[in-house]
Amino acid sequence: MMELIPILLPAFVAGLLVLSTHIPLGYQVLKRGIIFIDLAIAQVAALGIVMAHQFHFEGLFTGAEYIVSGVFAVAAGTLLALLEKRVHHELEAVIGCCYVLAATAGLLVLAHDPHGGELLKQTLSGSILWVTWDTLLWHGLVVSAVLLTMLLKPNVLKGVWFYALFAIAITSAVELVGVYLVFASLIMVPLATQAMKAGSKRLFTAYGLSALAYALGLTASAYWDLPSGATLVWCLALIALCAVLGGLTQPAKDKPA
């Protein structure tokens, strides 16, 4: 196992970067009742990666692929923000339409690319085991900016600017871990801990459970040579389920007077 540490350590740090923004954003998504917005925005961000690859933007300058992906995601987030008040009761359906359109657009763009299937697989499942410290430095700056914004302007999560901030966080995460793991990181543990009283205890419980799932999933993936993204999704689901069944995430009972 010792020889796996150089691979597992940067991958685990990548997971912590994703979780740092996705846990609080996940609670906000659940509160708004727009559960599948992360899948939609993540898929649009993945479409941006596909477009950048197809038109060779990544060769223009360092970070070009990320910028193209971010523009796609922010544009989708802005569109959903504009539609929120107009189609409030149908917003979840609109989000689903965005997801399907982005997913099929990727298939169309890569229809004649012999390596298109591998690229689509990578955007969905990610390649977290192969992240480098240089990559993490860039994403760490993005995550720090998102967290700082949420800390200094907590009301940003309540208004329409939530969509833009969400899109930026999702773009960074998709490039690191893929679409599937973005959804799992954002929803599974926050869903399991939602019944707890909002506050630092709930937040740290969610962070702890998610970090444990990442540690176990990465170790299992590397040791048994399993797809990292799929393994981590299942670990997050199992940890969340165990926490619920074990009563760890139940709200504290009020003491009798």
How many angstroms separate the CA atoms of 135 and 128, rounded? 11
How many angstroms separate the CA atoms of 145 and 72, rounded? 19
How many angstroms separate the CA atoms of 207 and 24, rounded? 10
The answer to whether residues 214 and 55 touch, using CB atoms and an 8 Å cutoff, is no
Q: Which of 157, 154, 120 is nearest to 31 (CA)?
A: 157
The residue type found at 164 is A
Domain regions of the chain by residue span: 2-245
Question: pLDDT digits over 122-170, tens only?
Answer: 899 888 988 999 989 989 999 999 999 999 988 888 877 899 999 999 9
Residue-level pLDDT at 255: 44
How many angstroms separate the CA atoms of 243 and 250, rounded? 9
First to last CA, the chain: 53
The residue type found at 200 is S
Q: Minimum mean pLDDT among 35-39, 54-58, 103-107, 159-163: which range? A: 54-58
Q: Which of 193, 177, 174 is nearest to 233 (CA)?
A: 177
The answer to whether residues 193 and 36 touch, using CB atoms and an 8 Å cutoff, is no
For 2-245, give the CATH class: mainly alpha
Residue-level pLDDT at 256: 47
- Mean pLDDT, rounded, of the chain: 89
Per-residue HEC secondary structure of 181-202 comes to HHHHHHHHHHHHHCCCCCCHHH
Residue-level pLDDT at 114: 87
How many angstroms separate the CA atoms of 213 and 8, rounded? 13
The answer to whether residues 241 and 192 touch, using CB atoms and an 8 Å cutoff, is yes
Q: Percent of the chain scored above 90 by pLDDT?
A: 61
User: Is pLDDT larger for residue 69 or for residue 252?
Assistant: 69
How many angstroms separate the CA atoms of 126 and 178, rounded? 4
Residue-level pLDDT at 252: 56
Residue 36: CA count within 13 A, CB half-sphere: 13
In the numeric block, which tokens belong to residue 85?
A: 């008040």
Contacts of 253 (CB under 8 A, 6+ apart): none
Question: pLDDT digits over 159-211, tens only?
Answer: 778 999 999 999 999 988 999 999 999 999 999 999 998 888 999 999 999 99
Residue-level pLDDT at 145: 95
